[in-house]
Amino acid sequence: MVHRSTLTIRPNASPEQWSESTNVAADADTKLNVKPLKIGPMVVDPPLFQAPMAGYTNFAYRQIVRDYGGVGLQATEMVNARGFAWLDEHEAEHPDRLWGVREEPRPLAVQIWDNDPEVMAKVGRRLVEEYQVSVVDINFGCPVKQVTEKAHSGSYLLRDPMRMHAIISQMVKACSPTPVTAKIRLGCTRECGNPAEVARIVEEAGAAALTVHGRFAEDYFRGSADWSQIAAIKQHLKNIPLIGNGDIDSVEKVVYAFKHYSVDGVMIARAALGRPWLFSQATAAIRGEPIPPDPSLDEQRQCLLRHYELVIARFGITKGTHLMRKYACCYAQGMPGARFFRSNVAHVETPEDFYQVVERDFPRA
Ligand SMILES: Cc1cc2nc3c(=O)[nH]c(=O)nc-3n(C[C@H](O)[C@H](O)[C@H](O)COP(=O)(O)O)c2cc1C
């Protein structure tokens, strides 16, 4: 099986270990013992998570991932709680980002963000009662200025654990018995980061799981995720599972993360955008089963076309075609000829353009 590397990985935590990790044979002595994990009353099996990604993990993408299988829990894009509450008060349509949430199979986590405990609790309750979501996840990791500096939310809240406590505890009360989880980064900056304290507070406030993206917010996506720092959090959690996230872009790295970083679960974001079958391969690996090969290039092209159909059915031809440009680029990433395909698909305007470019330029060999 060929694994395309879609991310540049330069882990600052333990580079030698990561490079060893691509050598499964060298790592064969370490036992792999991956168990289903529990988020409140819910069993997540396999303990593999599809990350929330704004602008990407909509219903169409989730559907594609679900079809390949191998993912224990999927998540929506982050939804702004204040915006949702406003729409609700004004009897307007609910956010676009909740597309499909009512109908699609469970389990499903919806992620929300804001800094007001009352608004968050109210929206959490709404998601539980009206949408019957499996998990309400809170975003404490977004580093984007519009969320941090403008709205004092996302990763901005990592500097204010007491407010995090208030948000989580009020949400837990409002959403019960549906579990509430939190997703964090290591901190805002290296100077103010205290992930151990944050982790303790998250658990004390009643969250049912903690996901940690191993970067500081100040780094956005620069450098590499620090898995040693993710692992160090484990000893500060008493009962809730720790889910590690950052730079996992191959089956081998999933296996390595479970073997060496004491996480209970692994979350994958970017690498699965163009390879939604990655979860099924990773699940086979952690279960000790034969790893299914990558789909053929023809099957990958078919998958992209199906994704396109789902997107235009929802967003209409113009918006849907524009939206698909970025997904199409993801599907071709790392393949020979990807640059040529990307440069053409990035300008498609109509379905005819789209089909023509995919048919003609999507990598074939
Ligand atoms: C385009 C994009 C959008 C993202 N949106 C969200 C989001 O809505 N909520 C969230 O918690 N994290 C979001 N993230 C962060 C990812 O969930 C994940 O933590 C990060 O990409 C690291 O994982 P990876 O190395 O597997 O990509 C986003 C990341 C990207 C690249």
* CA of 54 relative to ligand 1 center, distance in Å: 7
Atom 5 of ligand 1: nearest residue by CA position: 53
Ligand 1: atom nearest CA of 215 is 22
Same structural domain, 184 and 328: no
Half-sphere exposure of 268 (CA within 13 A, CB side): 30
Same structural domain, 211 and 91: yes
Same structural domain, 99 and 43: yes
Residue 108 within a domain: yes
Q: Is 54 in the pocket of ligand 1 (CB under 6 A)?
A: yes
What is the pLDDT, as a whole number, of residue 55?
95
For residue 13, the 8-state DSSP code is: S
Atom 15 of ligand 1: nearest residue by CA position: 53
Ligand 1: atom nearest CA of 249 is 26
Q: Is 269 in the pocket of ligand 1 (CB under 6 A)?
A: yes
Same structural domain, 136 and 259: yes
- Mutational test site, ligand 1, from 61, 230, 270, 333, max ligand atoms within 8 Å of CB: 270
Half-sphere exposure of 348 (CA within 13 A, CB side): 29
What is the pLDDT, as a whole number, of residue 25?
46
Residues of the chain falling short of pLDDT 50: 1-26
Instruction: Show which of 245, 262, 286 is a domain's final residue.
Output: 286
Same structural domain, 318 and 351: yes
Same structural domain, 119 and 155: yes
Same structural domain, 356 and 267: no
Atom 7 of ligand 1: nearest residue by CA position: 53
Q: Is 52 in the pocket of ligand 1 (CB under 6 A)?
A: yes
- Beta strands 74-80 and 48-50 are unpaired
- Mutational test site, ligand 1, from 49, 212, 213, 268, max ligand atoms within 8 Å of CB: 213
Same structural domain, 117 and 226: yes
List of residues 6+ apart from 205 with CB closer than 8 A: 164, 165, 166, 167, 168, 169, 172
What is the pLDDT, as a whole number, of residue 28?
62
Instruction: Show which of 252, 286, 320 is a domain's final residue.
Output: 286
Residue 7 within a domain: no
Residue 4 within a domain: no
Positions annotated as catalytic residues are 142
Q: With the C-alpha atoms ordered 61, 62, 66, 72, is the resulting torsion angle positive or negative?
A: positive
pTM over 0.85: yes
Please give the tally of structural domains in the chain: 2
Same structural domain, 90 and 224: yes
Q: Which domain holds residue 128?
A: 34-286
What is the pLDDT, as a whole number, of residue 27?
62
List of residues 6+ apart from 7 with CB closer than 8 A: 247, 249, 270, 271
What CATH number did the domain enclosing 275 receive?
3.20.20.70
Q: How far apart are the first and last CA of the chain?
A: 15
